[in-house]
Amino acid sequence: MKKRDRQHRRAVTMVDSLKEIEENKHIRYGIGHNSIFFRINKPAYNHLYNWNAIREFNDWGVPIVISLEYLKGMKLKGEILNSLVREVLRSITVNKYAKVPFQLHITDVEEEFMSMLSKTFQYKVEDDNPCNITSQNHLDMFPRERLVYLSPDSKEDLKFYNPNDIYVIGGIVDKTDDRQPLTLSAAKRLGIRHARFPMRQNLGLVADLNIDTCVSIMNDLKESQDWFYSLRWVPSRFFASRCKGSDIIQHRLAYNAHRFLSPNTSISDDVASKNFSYSPRKYRDLYGQIMNASSEEEIK
């Protein structure tokens, strides 16, 4: 019934529109007709964001690395591997949307993973992509003294962002039962510096984050040098897990704050877009208001 109703209304609208065109001897303005504005479609926006990322592949660009070398020799099930591919694709997207994107390098990519990028998710790997996807090892691309491995198992906190350092994010799947500190072990074996996000000091919790979440956090940190603001990308599900079995009201308020203010919120795309545009000061102000709220209505 709804389909028939839509078809009927569409037919009536088409008849009225054709009648108006015949009777109106003047120029007709509107979408699909004459307009003083250009229609900017989605491919045009994608081209703009892609170019913002591509232009960073110059001397002034700041590299960041997603290393997939840990996949070598690992037998991963289909869904786990698909999840990793989605994280990599989201990393490319969130990076190019940043105000000043990183020079993103995805290294140690094997043929199977490249094939999944190209076919499984209809992602065409081309030379004009907003990132560098290569089978080359990052140790052969950058000097070791500039590398910093980011690992949740490290005991060293990353206190601030250093533009002279090249941060390496491990492409690791932590959904398996035999989780191991692969990134930290590699850093110690190779004599490379390592660090973790100071989540406990700023949020009061620790968590293993997705690759795209790490890239988003590093982009915010590069722009603001504000850890509290940069960690707004931590998914609210980690705060929800902390609320279970806890009567501490601050835990519930922190969950609400991240749920309503995170750029990756699931509330709606409009809310996520608005949250993405917040400055560090605006974010702190809104976060403080939620933490001091006395009801759910006041939070909204």
> What are 232-270's pLDDT values in tens digits?
999 988 888 888 877 788 888 889 899 899 999 888 889
Interatomic CA distance for residues 134 and 69, integer angstroms: 11
- Matching residue, tokens 């037998």: 75
DSSP assignments along 187-255, one per residue: HHHHT-EEEB--HHHHHS---PPPHHHHHHHHHHHHHH--HHHHGGGS-HHHHHHHHTT---HHHHHHH
Cα–Cα distance measured from residue 109 to residue 275, given in angstroms and rounded to the nearest whole number: 33
DSSP type of residue 136: S
Give residue-wise pLDDT tens across range 106-161. Answer: 998 888 788 777 765 544 555 567 888 888 999 999 999 999 999 998 999 999 99
pLDDT of residue 13: 72
Closest listed residue to residue 139, CA positions, set 223, 65, 224? 65
pLDDT one-digit tens code per residue, 24-62: 766 666 666 666 777 777 777 888 888 888 889 888 889
Q: How far is CA 48 from CA 55, 134, 182, 196, 213, in A?
A: 11, 23, 37, 33, 22
pTM equals: 0.82
Residues 108 and 46: their CA atoms lie apart, in Å, by: 26
Q: Tell me the C-alpha distance between 202 and 198, whole Å.
A: 6
